[in-house]
Amino acid sequence: MRHAPTTPELVRRILKGERVSLARGISWVENEAPGAAALLDACFRKSGRARRLGITGPPGAGKSTLATRLAQEYRRRGHRVGIVAVDPTSPFSGGALLGDRVRMGELAGDEGVYIRSMATRGGTGGLAVHTAQVCDVLDAAGFSRLLIETVGVGQSELEVAETADTTVVVLVPESGDGVQAMKAGLMEIGDLFVINKADREGAERASFAVRSALELRERKGRNDGWQPSVLLTAASQGLGVAELADGLESHLAFLEERGALEVGRRRRLERRVSELVQGGLWAGFRAAIPEETWRETLDGVHARTLTPRQAAERLAELSRSASSNGVRSRREVPVRADLPDARSRPARSRVARH
């Protein structure tokens, strides 16, 4: 009977690029299994070499096909490629619903490509909470180009820009008439724009519309010296993919020459640390509140006898009292009905937000 590997043993195998161990390690990260924190710490120290490329855009734009062709192009250039495909969550299994590993079947059997579908797990937008951490593991395993493809709904287009070094926005010829109405965030995050399925009518018109929108973006204040390209591709036929890879590498070189690559990475790491701190504070805050008190307080807000602000401040005071008394269990925190009303306190409490 085979025993489960220890964390140091699993890390050692991941660093050697063993695929089975890599899959196990990523599952640890996704499921926050015991040992995942130590694994992430070890992998983070070995990361920082890979370039992270975001691929986003509306559903139906052909992002998965484009990612497949781009991976093949990078393989021809000698890179090992990791693909993190963030998909909607299945309401039944909690797993990734679309499963890009099925849609990217052409890459099966290539030991230099690793594909992982991740579920959004109901998070805001479409980018899974652990995507950046999974990229750290793939980076440590020796993959030099990481493609991060999002589901392309909600806030995922904006979130991918906070994970990737450079971001491609994929559109289709039919997008041309709606570019001006497209949400500003999507137009602002793109470092390159692709009109995919360019063998269909309207590709040139869509390209012109995107260029016009980009000129407006530059006038509105984003002028970092980089002029985003608008490229035409037909990913199903492999057309324009080499030019897209060239464009991505040009942008990465542009960032590196100006020191902007490291500046962007530092900013993203700062945000990750901030989110982890906020998550830890929230977990501690929530653990200090008895479940009965939590429900009663929300009942009061629902009945309009408490305002959300008053409820938050009362819960914050309970949490502080529990911390000062060394209380750790929710059941050990007494329910206090005599907490002072928020209006009677001179100073406003700060509440850790989820």
CATH of the domain at 251: 3.40.50.300
Boundary-marking domain end, from 257, 291, 321: 257
Domain enclosing residue 307, as ranges: 273-344
pLDDT of residue 57: 85
Q: How many structural domains does the chain have?
A: 3
Boundary-marking domain end, from 207, 231, 257: 257
With respect to residue 102, please indicate whether it lies within any of the assigned structural domains. Answer: yes
φ, ψ (nearest 5 deg) of residue 58 = -65, 155
With respect to residue 40, please indicate whether it lies within any of the assigned structural domains. Answer: yes
Instruction: Mark whether 78 and 26 lie in a shared domain.
Output: no
From residue 69, how far is each of 3, 85, 196, 232 by CA, in Å?
39, 14, 12, 14
Instruction: Mark whether 210 and 289 lie in a shared domain.
Output: no
Closest by CA to 138, choosing from 114, 161, 155, 173, is 114
For every one of its 354 residues, what pLDDT tens digit does the chain have, with 9 covering 90 and above?
467 789 999 999 999 999 999 999 999 998 889 999 999 999 999 999 999 999 988 888 899 999 999 999 999 999 999 999 886 554 444 444 454 455 567 788 889 999 998 876 545 433 556 789 999 999 999 999 999 998 765 565 567 667 899 999 999 998 755 665 565 667 778 899 999 999 999 999 989 988 888 887 664 555 568 889 999 999 999 999 999 999 999 999 999 999 999 999 999 899 888 888 988 899 899 999 999 999 999 999 999 999 999 999 999 999 888 877 764 444 433 434 344 343 333 443 333 333
Structural contact between residues 148 and 53, judged by C-beta atoms closer than 8 angstroms: yes
pLDDT of residue 345: 39
pLDDT of residue 50: 97
pLDDT of residue 128: 52
pTM score, whole prediction: 0.81
Structural contact between residues 270 and 162, judged by C-beta atoms closer than 8 angstroms: no
Instruction: Mark whether 41 and 82 lie in a shared domain.
Output: no
Instruction: Mark whether 68 and 196 lie in a shared domain.
Output: yes
pLDDT of residue 218: 62
Structural contact between residues 187 and 214, judged by C-beta atoms closer than 8 angstroms: yes
pLDDT of residue 222: 56
